[in-house]
Every structure is written in structure tokens, then in C-alpha cells.
Amino acid sequence: MPEGLIVKALSGYYYVKPQASAEENTLQCRGRGIFKKKGITPLVGDRVLYTPTENGEGTVDEILPRDTELIRPPIANATHAVLLFSVREPDLNLPLLDKFLVHIEHAGLHPLICLTKEDLLDEGVNGAERDLTSQVGELYEKVGYKVIVTSSLTGIGTDEVKEWLAGKISVFAGQSGVGKSSLLNAMLPGLSLETSEISLKLGRGRHTTRHVELIELGNGGYVADTPGFSQLDFLELGVEELSSCFIEFRDYAERCKFRGCSHLHEPGCQIRAAVEAGDIVASRYKHYMQFYEEMKEKKRRY
């Protein structure tokens, strides 16, 4: 049986890209009935074995072992995530960026922070917004993340992002209106994904992506342009796992005096000591405390 990659799932059909030839079109397939009996759902990103049928369609016969599996968005074998946050319209939201990073770290993906809409930065005398963007980039690179500043309008940074995505299955994530579809259009001229205008009243865009679909980049990479969302909850994450999702905490946490230290009030906490010494960025620790309390509150509620 030939092998392929599910690049889209829609209305009970799975669109499989044959592995044998890059020139072949995707094949519209149905899943075998045994999947439903076993409670298995093929996902976008699954590597599968399939059988072409006489009517020009096909059947997905077997799902090959998955490296990763995400629940939201439902996608298999993604290894990297691009977190897109605009420098303006909507304004940069660092608590939300840190919340996205927590979820991406928990999912075991490698994140890239992409600051979009560089062309909207203030070019005035003080250049305050440009300075803020530089400071944010330096802050997260100090933490240990790769940061790329982009503009879909001028093309700044788009080639660098595309190069970073080569040979990987990645997801694009971020609020609606931050320029996910615009960046993909800039990286792949002729793609023409629908983009959304920003509502000046609400400060956010309309959702333009309706389903998960892998977009081929032509360099061995695929990107899932996922439905936009503006808030995440912590229901699938245990409060004891939170600190490990802040990557700069990990080495210090191992040296805390008490096992299971919450890093909020215990004596001998090495993370609090590192914050006081300036070795851990204070804003990141502040967001950790906010998320910790939010998770405890949700646990009480549910």
C-alpha cells in the first residue's frame, strides 16, 4: 500500500498527499470503518497507508505511529509552533504570549516567536514602539526563545521564518487579526488565503480560518493555519506542571529547598532568589504567579 500524508480533513473526507511523488495531487479518501469501531480518528498530519479505489478516490487503511498529537487544534506529528503576535493592531500582549508559551511547552513543541506588522511601528522622534519591540525580542531571546520580527507588507523576516519551517510540520497560533494568513501569503505568493481587517472598536480581527489544513511550503515543510482564538484555559494542565513550562525556571527549581515547591512563598526557593537577583525576568515570574492563581481558581470551580 502506498504511503501518504493527510493534509486536510473535511466533512468526513481525508485528503491524502502521496509520499511517492511531489507532483501528484491529493487524493480524497474515506477512513476504514474499523477506525470508528475502535474509536480512532485520523488527523491532519497523520502519515497513513491508503488504497486508491476505482472511482478515483481512496481509502485510508492504516495510521502510522504518531510522534505528537494535539487536541486543539486536532493535528498529528507537529513538532514546531510559530506564535504570532503583532506589535500593533492589536497591541502586543505579553501575558497572552506567555500563556501560549506555557501551552506549547506542555505540548512538547519547539516554539518560534514571530512579531508581526513591523511596518506599523512608530517612526516618530522617540521611536518608543520600536524600542519596546526590540526590548521584547531581547527579553525572550534571553529566556531562550528564537524571535523573528516580520512584516508581510515589506517582506522583512518572511524568508527567515520560511527557512526555520523547512522540513517540519508546524502550527501557526495566535490571536485572530495578528497576521497569520498574511504572513503565509507573503511566504507563498499565489496562496491567497483570506485575511481579516482589524475591528478598531474591538481591537481584534474576525476569524478567517475555518478548518485545519496543512499548507505545503515547497521546502519539505508544512504549516497548519489553525483557527484563531484569543484565550486559552489551563484545564488540561496540572498546577504542579506549570513551572516546568517556564523554561528558564527548570534549572533553579531542581535546587529549591522543598520538593514540590510552588515558588510563591516557601523558604529556600531558588526561583524567587533568581528573580530578586535579576537572573529571571520579573515580568515572566509575575505571569507565572497570575497563571498559578488562575489554575487554582479553576480547580476550585470545577
**119 marked among binding-site residues:** yes
- Is 261 annotated in a binding site? The answer is yes
177 assigned to a ligand binding site: yes
Separation between Cα atoms, residue 170 and residue 76, nearest integer Å: 10
Q: 176: annotated binding-site residue?
A: yes
263 known ligand binder: yes
C-alpha grid cell for residue 210? 475555518
DSSP state for residue 55 in the 8-state scheme: T
For residues 30 and 196, what is the distance between their CA atoms, to the nearest angstrom? 33
CA distance 130 to 262: 36
Asked if residue 46 belongs to a known ligand binding site, the reply is no
Q: Is 178 annotated as a binding residue?
A: yes
CA–CA distance, 119 with 261 (Å, rounded to integer): 44
209 is in an annotated binding site: no
Q: Which three cell numbers stand for residue 196?
A: 481579516
Side-chain-side CA neighbours of residue 101 (13 Å) = 26
Residue pair 221/170 in contact (Cβ under 8 Å)? The answer is yes
Q: Is position 179 annotated in a ligand binding site?
A: yes
- Is residue 12 within 8 A of residue 42, CB to CB? The reply is no
Short-list 169, 163, 154, 179, CA closest to 83: 179
159 is in an annotated binding site: no
Q: How far is the first Cα of the chain from the last one, in angstroms, to the nearest whole number?
A: 47
296 belongs to an annotated ligand binding site: no
Q: Is 36 annotated as a binding residue?
A: no
146 is in an annotated binding site: no
Q: Which of 223, 228, 277, 280 is closest to 249 using CA atoms?
A: 280
Report the alpha-carbon angle 88-99-267, nearest 5.
Answer: 125
137 annotated among ligand-binding-site residues? no
Q: Is 244 annotated as a binding residue?
A: no
How big is the CA angle at 179 (ends 174 and 182), to the nearest 5 degrees?
135
Radius of gyration from C-alpha coordinates of the chain: 21
DSSP, res 113:
E
Residues 6+ apart with CB under 8 A from 251: none
Which residues line the annotated binding site?
A: 116-119, 174-182, 256, 261, 263, 269
Which residues line the annotated binding site for Zn(2+)?
A: 256, 261, 263, 269
Which residues line the annotated binding site for GTP?
A: 116-119, 174-182
